[in-house]
Amino acid sequence: MSQDTFAIKSDPALWEKLDMDVERFSNIPPMLTGAYQGVFLEQKNRPRAMSYFDGMIENIFSGRIQEMAGAKEEGRPVVGTFCVYVPEEIVQAVNGVCVGLCGGSPGSIPDAEKVLPRNICPMVKSAFGFKVGRICPYFQVVDFVYGETTCDAKKKTWELLNEYVPTHVMEIPQMKRERDKRLWVDEVKDFKTEIEKISSKKVTYENLQDAIRLLNDKRRAMQRLNDLRHHTPSPISGKDMLLIQQIAFYDAPQRFTEKVHALCDELEERIAQGDAVAPASTPRIMVSGTPMALPNWKLHNIIETSGAVVVNEESCIGTRYYKDTIDENAQTVDEQLERLTERYMQIDCSCFTPNEERIGQVLKEYKASGAQGLIDYCLQFCHTYNIEAVKLRQMCEKEGIPFLAIESDYSQEDIGQLQTRVEAFIEQIQG
């Protein structure tokens, strides 16, 4: 898709129906259009199949919202979530729509800071600000949202968010003992009961099995794509891969899976033909740490305009979302829920203690990706990831892996400083 034809579409009539602040939100599509053009469409030699994902961004505030509004009119629940621990299989089992609501924009933070403290995670403030400012069609289209207790800022913010939109909270145990698993299974069962109540539909064995297979297929497609990007030279940029992972949280699962496989087919052809986005000598960077919710493309853009390529993301918007699948051999609903819980327990969030599994997973992914350096990215005031970076640094020192820890927010104010640090890190890798 060319820069000349790309434009994020507006739909003021739809936004009005969703009770948005239409006058204020109308400024967002042209602003995001310019940002997207500069970050993505100026890239050279992008895969042709990226046109679908460009189209998803063009329709991010219109076509996809219309689909969700249509689902509501059909009586299907539209559920917003903030974390990869909330099991979307159960929403899918009642023919519902599950959409990620994490905020990745600084524009909504001033709205949030009228209510919330300034010194908390920008992702939490961004998401909350979208709702209180009525400037996010996804927040406006959902029937209710499901939060979780993975961090203090989140679980207390959900109490306040409930004043603006019905907000249910799932308790996530922060150890992984057998007693914690039992608690977690009970939480998943409670989630199932709540979804059944709201949707007026029963989660049957057959429907849940179909949902598990559907979302396992989506994860396998993402695993295939991530494996292909690990090829040297890489057939796809890190920015494009980040974009696809962000879109995974709001696109329709079956359609998304088909389009990812179509992209993978093209990437296999590119690899066979030696067609890459950068020469084989280009420094290869892996990014770990906190999620990068759409439209947070700052770090990837800095890395890839500084002469390197990003080849892996160990993140909730990254491999944590799709690296594990659910065992499909359960014989009853209770067994399905237990297998489902076991899969979600394999996600290595920094909220867990102890969390040596994550350190080992980062090293495993680093080696598999062919990376030559690790950048650990942490949003400001995310204490668990900031502290866990100490162990990552220790692991990297032991393994002889170049390591850089970065703490940032969504503003543009630190781009110059980050650019300098990243460029120096790339020079260190190049020797």
Note the pLDDT tens digit of each residue in 132-178. Answer: 999 999 999 999 999 999 999 999 999 999 999 999 999 999 999 99
Q: Given a cut of 70, is residue 2 above it in pLDDT?
A: no
Identify whether 24 is part of a domain: yes
Helix (H) or strand (E) holding 88: helix 88-93
Identify whether 1 is part of a domain: no
Segment 5-21 mean pLDDT: 97
Q: DSSP readout, 219-277?
A: HHHHHHHHHHHTSSS-SS-HHHHHHHHHHTTTS-HHHHHHHHHHHHHHHHHHHHHT--S
Contact 1, 51 (CB under 8 A): yes
Query: For residue 304, which phi and psi values (nearest 5 degrees)?
Result: -85, -15
pLDDT given for residue 431 in this prediction: 83
Residue 144: count other Cβ atoms within 10 Å of its Cβ: 16
Q: Given a cut of 70, is residue 95 above it in pLDDT?
A: yes
Q: Given a cut of 70, is residue 280 above it in pLDDT?
A: yes
Segment 223-251 mean pLDDT: 98
Which residue has tokens 């939109």?
Answer: 165
| CA nearest to 352, candidates 391, 379, 323 | 391
Segment 227-247 mean pLDDT: 98
Please tell me the distance from the alpha carbon of residue 248 to that of residue 242, in angstroms, as a whole number.
10
Identify whether 222 is part of a domain: yes
Domain count, the chain: 1
Buried b (16+ CB within 10 A) or exposed e, 99-132: bbbbbbbbbbbebbeeebeeebbbbbbbbbbbbb
Identify whether 3 is part of a domain: no
* Domain limits for position 271: 12-430
Identify whether 157 is part of a domain: yes
Task: Tell me the CA distances in angstroms from 395 to 230, 253, 399, 400, 415, one per residue in order.
Answer: 22, 36, 6, 8, 28
Total residue count of the chain as it appears in this document: 431
Q: Where are the beta strands (DSSP E) in 2-142?
A: 78-81, 97-100
The string of pLDDT tens digits covering residues 390-415 is 999 999 999 999 999 999 999 999 99
| CA nearest to 217, candidates 115, 128, 328 | 328
Please tell me the distance from the alpha carbon of residue 334 to that of residue 340, in angstroms, as a whole number.
10
Q: Alpha carbon 66 to chain centroid distance?
A: 22
Identify whether 6 is part of a domain: no
List the structure tokens of 253: 């699962």
Please tell me the distance from the alpha carbon of residue 15 to that of residue 25, in angstroms, as a whole number.
9
The string of pLDDT tens digits covering residues 15-74 is 999 999 999 999 999 999 999 999 999 999 999 999 999 999 999 999 999 999 999 999
Identify whether 7 is part of a domain: no
Identify whether 5 is part of a domain: no
Please tell me the distance from the alpha carbon of residue 317 to that of residue 360, in angstroms, as a whole number.
19
pLDDT given for residue 393 in this prediction: 98
The string of pLDDT tens digits covering residues 187-224 is 999 999 999 999 999 999 999 999 999 999 999 999 99
Which residue has tokens 């891969």?
Answer: 241
Contact 61, 139 (CB under 8 A): no
* pLDDT tier for residue 4 given thresholds of 50, 70 and 90: confident
List the structure tokens of 118: 């300034």
Q: Write the DSSP symbol of residue 361.
A: H
